[in-house]
Chain A
């Protein structure tokens, strides 16, 4: 079935460091791809999305490009802040439902 595999965490970084979280997927057809973020004590929030190959989603300095040839949707940010500390989930949508990766906990230290 459709599935998402993302980089294991936790990831600890210093402020202004470069962040990459790898995400690859397996799906029949052409799924839409998403990154969700969960801040402590809050629900899952959509961070960015891409609906077709070569689309780039971006938001709050984060970017991810839908790569059909490598079935990947890696999340990147060039300069992280302490406020980026959260759990990040890669997901794909097929039909009505979302299929999520395991989540990557990111901690940014001042």
Chain B
């Protein structure tokens, strides 16, 4: 069964460093999402992406964040200058046109900023 994959599973970085989190959505999906979950808190929406542009973003998704679909398979989240409070589990999700309600999630990347 097709699934969303994410790499790495765990990323440790120093404050101020740039990180890129990678996701491979399900191959025929057209909508892509990033969510995050700070330890002990809710899963929060960050951004949605369709047709090579951002379709919606939350107030969390400030200028330090960017997303890109650099080729036909990857979908990346970049944090330019990480802060301690960026430490969280980051989930990628995707969906296609025919399953409007269902987003398929990856296993997540745990980001630790020291």
Contact = CB atoms under 8 A, between A and B. Distances in A.
Interface of A: 32, 34, 36, 41-46, 49, 51, 89, 91, 93, 95-103
SS class, residues of chain A in contact with chain B = strand
Contacts of B45: 97-99
Interface of B: 3-4, 31, 33, 35, 41-45, 48, 50, 55-56, 58, 91, 93, 101-108
Contacts of A43: 3-4, 91, 105-108
B102 A46 contact: yes
Contacts of A34: 101
B106 A32 contact: no
Given A41-B107, A97-B48, 18 more contacts: A32-B101, A43-B91, A43-B108, A44-B43, A44-B93, A44-B105, A46-B104, A96-B50, A97-B33, A97-B45, A97-B58, A98-B45, A98-B103, A99-B45, A101-B42, A102-B41, A102-B42, A103-B43
A102 to B, nearest CB: 5
A43 B104 CA distance: 9
A104 to B, nearest CB: 12
Contacts, number: 52
A95 B56 contact: yes
Given A41-B107, A42-B107, A43-B4, A93 B42 contact: no
Nearest to A41: B107
27 contacts: A34-B101, A41-B107, A42-B107, A43-B4, A43-B105, A44-B93, A44-B105, A45-B105, A46-B102, A46-B103, A46-B104, A49-B101, A89-B43, A93-B101, A95-B56, A96-B31, A96-B48, A96-B55, A96-B56, A97-B33, A97-B56, A97-B58, A98-B45, A98-B103, A99-B45, A100-B43, A101-B42
Most chain B CB atoms below 10 A, which of A43, A45, A102: A43
Contacts of B50: 96
Contacts of A103: 42-43
